[in-house]
Amino acid sequence: MKRDYAVIGLGRFGGSICKELSSEGMQVLAIDSDEDKINEFKNIASHAVIANSTDEATLKELGIKNIDHVIVAIGDNIQASILTTVVLTDLGIKSITVKAQNDYHEKILNRIGANHVVHPERDMGKRIAHNIISNNILDYLELSDDHSIVEVRAGEKMRGKTLVELDIRANYGCNVVAIKRDKDINVSPAADDVLKEEDVLILIGADKDISRFEKHLV
Ligand code: ADP
């Protein structure tokens, strides 16, 4: 289904979102206060407009109210990011995703009504750190401050064993929610499934439990 998006701020992060949404065939209104950025994106986005997003009247004129989802990707200028988010919530935009520069910025954005706050540098840093700890940790997704989902390749200590034998839930307090094997994904792994070298386990749990699991089994 085709939906309308607006991306405000076309730096590395916003620019990448704008390109990806456009290449997926979505209608994207790209907004930046910098003329060079708008020139760069005028052939990529459906519409590219030079505008200061902290100005409510301008956003209204651009028809922002008719947009399904607005992404605020203003990086360093935290004040402009906050003001823009306030203007968008005042205009009644239902879906607003905002990039946070730091934890304080994130807190404020949550308070003022951004319904999805992302922190790409911090999250990517965490993912890469876990991947550096072990090549078998393929991905890491934070669910809350203290719970995550990890994608782990069945390491040497797991291969040839069943889930019953490993008893990950009792030993580490984590749940194996799915096992990926080649292109198949088994969302209800059986207790007697023998793990193979190419298997990837998807685990959910508290960070402290996942950390114990990573230390002992990965
Ligand atoms: P990144 O870290 O993702 O590269 P930047 O901070 O470099 O992000 O880029 C943010 C973009 O947002 C810049 O292109 C800048 O011109 C734009 N921007 C900043 N303030 C405003 C504003 N008030 N209105 C519209 N665009 C803005």
Tell me what ipTM this predicted complex has: 0.96
Q: Looking at 69, 100, 118, which one is the last position of a domain?
A: 118
Does residue 104 share a domain with residue 46? yes
Whether the pLDDT of residue 117 is over 90: the answer is yes
Does residue 127 share a domain with residue 113? no
Residue 190, domain CATH: 3.30.70.1450
Closest atom of ligand 1 to 12 CA is: 4
> What is the 50 CA–ligand 1 centroid distance (Å)?
12
Q: Looking at 94, 118, 142, which one is the last position of a domain?
A: 118
Q: Looking at 118, 148, 167, which one is the last position of a domain?
A: 118
* Contact residues of ligand 1, CB 6 A cut-off: 8-14, 31-34, 37, 52-54, 73-77, 80
- Is the dihedral angle over the CA atoms 47, 101, 75, 123 positive or is it negative? negative
Does residue 208 share a domain with residue 132? yes
How many domains would you assign to the chain? Answer: 2
Does residue 86 share a domain with residue 137? no
Does residue 105 share a domain with residue 41? yes
pTM summary value: 0.78
> What is the 26 CA–ligand 1 centroid distance (Å)?
22
Q: What percentage of the chain exceeds 90 in pLDDT?
A: 73
In this prediction, residue 18 has a pLDDT band, given cuts at 50, 70 and 90, of: very high
Does residue 64 share a domain with residue 127? no
What are the tens digits of pLDDT across the range 57-107?
Answer: 999 999 999 999 999 999 899 999 999 999 999 999 999 999 999 999 999
Rounded to an integer, the average pLDDT of 19-25 is 95
Does residue 88 share a domain with residue 17? yes
> What is the 51 CA–ligand 1 centroid distance (Å)?
11
Residue 13, domain CATH: 3.40.50.720
pLDDT at 39: 98
In this prediction, residue 155 has a pLDDT band, given cuts at 50, 70 and 90, of: confident
In this prediction, residue 2 has a pLDDT band, given cuts at 50, 70 and 90, of: low
Could you list the residue range(s) of the whole structural domain that residue 131 is in? Answer: 123-217
Does residue 9 share a domain with residue 98? yes
Query: 10 Å Cβ neighbour count for 95?
Result: 15
pLDDT at 144: 85
What are the tens digits of pLDDT across the range 74-84?
Answer: 989 999 999 99
Does residue 18 share a domain with residue 77? yes
Q: Measuring CA to CA, how many Å separate 116 from each of 77, 130, 160, 184, 210?
A: 19, 24, 41, 31, 25
Whether the pLDDT of residue 216 is over 90: the answer is no
Does residue 111 share a domain with residue 129? no
To test the pocket of ligand 1, the residue of 33, 79, 85, 87 to mutate (highest count of ligand atoms within 8 Å of its CB) is: 33
Task: Enter the DSSP assignment of 76.
Answer: S
Does residue 111 share a domain with residue 15? yes
pLDDT at 198: 86
Angle at 144 between CA 130 and CA 105, to 5 degrees: 95
Among 176, 151, 178, which residue's Cα sits nearest to residue 166? 176
Does residue 75 share a domain with residue 45? yes
* CA atoms of 189 and 193, how far apart (whole Å): 7
Whether the pLDDT of residue 1 is over 60: the answer is no
